[in-house]
Amino acid sequence: MIQAIAFYLFATLTIFSGAVTILARNPVHSVLWLILAFFNAAGLMILIGAEFIAMLLVIVYVGAVAVLFLFVVMMLDIDFAQLRAGFIKNFPLGFALAFVLLAELVMGVGAYKAGGLALGTPDAATAPVAGLSNTAAIGALLYSRYLFLFETAGIILLVAMIGAIVLTHRQRGDVRGQKPSSQISRRPEEATINLQPEVGKGVTL
């Protein structure tokens, strides 16, 4: 009972905030609705017993990705009039795409209703191990069966990082960088001098 209520609550909110994400006029509002959608999706994950995935969803998407999103979107200066002009121009294309996607959805649902679809059963190779928390179970699979793909995924992230640095990092000649070690090792005796200036004479530095 309470599970059903929770499910419908989370599911409705996910869909609703997903819809508002694309309908909201203000991009910052969009991102905030997106965050709500992530959050409710995490709730759905908890309901199916995947608490590890749920927490990761919040930590990674809400805690890091969406913050960066927000960071960028907040700094954008978006001209809504211009945006709408582009919208009208591209409307036919967007409409065609939307229509194709809708047709696919309808066909998919239709095929499902007609009994044409039989979902496959997962193969036994990745069956959950009894008595392990799903954190441990995921770890056990990732580092044995999927080790190769897991490590390669790491290299993908590395490439993304190299790419971001290559495309944005510029070596500018006019910047003086910090040298913390030499700054810290500097002593007051080298940096200051104590003088007892005579009245009316001033000091020479």
Partner 1 sequence: MTAFFQGLGLPFAAAWTISTICGILLIALPVMLAVAMVIYVDRKVWASMALRRGPNVVGPFGILQSFADGLKVFLQETIIPSAANKGLFLIAPIITFTVALLAWAVIPFNSGAILANINVGLLYILAISSLGVYGIVIAGWSSNSKYPFFSAMRASAQMISYEVSIGFILVCVVLWANSFNLNDIVKAQHGFGLGFINGFWCSPLLFPMWVMFLISSMAETQRAPFDLTEAESELVAGYQTEYSSMAFALFWLGEYGNVLLMCALNATLFWGGYLPPVELAVLYLIPGWIWLILKIAFGFFVFSWVKATVPRYRYDQLMRLGWKIFLPVSLLFVFLVSGYLMATGHFA
Partner 2 sequence: MELLRSLQITLAEEVLSVSGLVLLLVAAWGGDKAARLISILSVAVLAVCALIAAPALCGSAMGPDVTAFAGQYRADAFAAFAKLLIYAGAGVTLIVAPAFFERVRGMRAEFPLLVLFAALGMGIMVSAGDLLALYIGLELNSLASYVLASMLRSDERSAESGLKYFVLGSLASGILLYGVSLTYGFTGTTSFEGIRLALGHGLSTGATFGVVFVLAGLAFKISAAPFHMWTPDVYEGAPTPVTTFFATAPKVAALSLLMRVSLEAFGAQPHAWQQIVIFAALLSIVIGALGAIGQNNIKRLMAYSSINNVGFMLIGLACANQPGAAAMLIYLAIYVAMSVAGFVAVLMLKDADGEPVEAISDMAGLSKTRPGLAAALAAVMFSLAGIPPLFGFWGKFVVFQAAVQANLLALAAIGIAASVIGAFYYLKVVKVLYFDEATDKVTGKSDLAHTVLLVIATLFISPLGYLLTNWLHGLAGNAAAALFHVA
For binding to partner 2 (CB under 8 A), which residues are involved? 104, 108, 111-112, 116-123, 125, 144-149, 151-153, 155-156, 158-160, 162-163, 165-167
Beta carbon nearer to partner 2, 144 or 185: 144
Q: Could you tell me the CA-to-CA distances from 141 to 36, 152, 155, 171, 186 in Å, in that order?
A: 30, 15, 19, 43, 53
Tell me if 63 contacts partner 1 by CB under 8 A: yes
What is the distance between the terminal CA atoms of the chain, rounded to a whole angstrom? 83
CB of 133 to partner 1, least distance (A): 5
Among the residue ranges 7-15, 25-33, 95-103, 161-169, the one whose residues contact partner 1 (CB under 8 A): 25-33
CA angle, residues 134, 136, 140, in degrees to nearest 5: 115
Tell me if 188 contacts partner 1 by CB under 8 A: no
25 binds, among partner 2, partner 1, none (CB under 5 to 8 A by kind): none
Tell me if 32 contacts partner 1 by CB under 8 A: yes
Tell me if 64 contacts partner 1 by CB under 8 A: yes
Beta carbon nearer to partner 2, 88 or 167: 167
Among the residue ranges 63-71, 92-100, 140-148, 149-157, the one whose residues contact partner 1 (CB under 8 A): 63-71
Q: Could you tell me the CA-to-CA distances from 67 to 10, 34, 58, 164 in Å, in that order?
A: 22, 11, 11, 18
Give DSSP secondary structure letters for 85-147.
Answer: HHHHHHHHHHHHHHHHHHHHHHHHHHHHHTT---PPPPPGGGPPPTTS-HHHHHHHHHTTTTH
| Phi, psi of 195, rounded to the nearest 5 degrees | -125, 150
| Binding site residues, partner 1, CB under 8 A | 2, 28-29, 32, 35, 42, 51-52, 55-56, 58-59, 62-64, 67-68, 70-71, 74-75, 133, 135, 178, 180
